[in-house]
A and B are shown apart, each in its own frame.
Chain A
Amino acid sequence: GAVVSQHPSRVICKSGTSVKIECRSLDFQATTMFWYRQFPKQSLMLMATSNEGSKATYEQGVEKDKFLINHASLTLSTLTVTSAHPEDSSFYICSAALTGELTDTQYFGPGTRLTVL
């Protein structure tokens, strides 16, 4: 149980285009989903916290107009990288927390590798 999927797993796009990444909790409902960015050989950097039905909370230094997050249902959150540039190339990982879970466990998706040419 507690499986999280991401789509696509890899995407290559041209500079200036927008890319949407989906994060789905497959067998549970997730009130809260998180979006992380991971640079090569580095740790995960939390970008934003997404709560179903409300606006996402962005971490300091993350441009909310560039990284649009929508959490329209208890099983789906999307991250749209708008007007992507080569510096946005990275590994994007989402995670989901179980609704009503008393502990602090997050379940992670497999990640999306974004390459902007």
Chain B
Amino acid sequence: GNSVTQMEGPVTLSEEAFLTINCTYTATGYPSLFWYVQYPGEGLQLLLKATKADDKGSNKGFEATYRKETTSFHLEKGSVQVSDSAVYFCALSPTGGGNKLTFGTGTQLKVEL
């Protein structure tokens, strides 16, 4: 079956530090890949997505590249801010899967001054 594996958190960084949150997946075919962000007490917001190999999703300074050869979709940001503190979920939707999402367990990011 499909699965998504994320690095365990919490990840604690100082403001302006470089961020990487690793995500790897297991799926057949060519799934679509997503990063969602969840701020405290809120639902999930789509951060970025990529629908085919070598695509790069980007938004708000965050980037992730769909790597089919390593089955990865690592999230990166060059300079984090305190306001980026949240839980980040990697997810996939299978090929022709009718929007059904499989989520990773989430990685909590804490950014300190």
| A and B are partners in one complex rather than unrelated chains | yes
User: Which residues of B are at the interface with A, using a C-beta cutoff of 8 A?
Assistant: 32, 34, 36, 41-46, 49, 51, 89, 93, 97-101, 103-106, 108
Kindly report which residue of chain A lies nearest to residue B51, judged by CB atoms. A103
Query: Are A46 and B43 within 8 A (Cβ)?
Result: no
A6 on interface, CB distance cutoff 8 Å: yes
| Docked-complex contact B103 and A44, CB < 8 angstroms | yes
Kindly state the separation between the CA atoms of A107 and B108 in the bound complex, as whole angstroms. Answer: 21
Which chain A positions have C-beta within 8 A of B89? 43-44
A81-116: CB near B (< 8 Å → 1, else 0) gives: 000000000000101010000011111111101000
Q: Which 6 A-B pairs have the closest CB atoms?
A: A104-B93, A108-B44, A111-B43, A110-B43, A108-B43, A97-B99
Most interface-central of B98, B100, B105, B108 (chain A CB within 10 A): B100
**From B45, B46, B98, B105, contact of A43 by CB (8 A):** B105
Least Cβ–Cβ distance between A77 and chain B, in angstroms:
14
Which among A32, A41, A49, A111 is the interface contact of B42 at CB below 8 angstroms? Answer: A111
Which of A4, A104, A107 has the most chain B CB atoms inside 10 A of its CB? Answer: A104
Do residues A43 and B51 form an inter-chain contact, with CB atoms below 8 A?
Answer: no
Q: Secondary structure at chain A's binding surface: helix, strand, loop or mixed?
A: strand
Partner of B46, one of A93, A107, A109, A111: A107
CA distance A103 to B106 in the complex (A): 23
A43 x B106 contact (CB < 8 A)? yes
Encode contact with B along A18-51: 1 for CB under 8 Å, 0 otherwise: 0000000000000010100000011110100100
Provide the residues of chain B in CB contact with A113, threshold 8 Å: 41
Is the beta-carbon distance between B32 and A104 smaller than 8 angstroms?
yes
A22-B43 Cα distance, complex, nearest whole Å: 14
Q: Determine how close the nearest CB of chain A comes to the CB of B44; give it in whole angstroms.
A: 4
Contacts of B98 in A (CB 8 A): 32, 49
CA distance A69 to B35 in the complex (A): 27
Interchain nearest-CB distance for A63 vs B (Å): 20
* Complex CA distance for A4 and B42, rounded to whole angstroms: 12
Q: Are A93 and B43 in contact (CB under 8 A)?
A: yes
Asked if residues B105 and A42 are in contact (CB atoms below 8 Å), the reply is yes
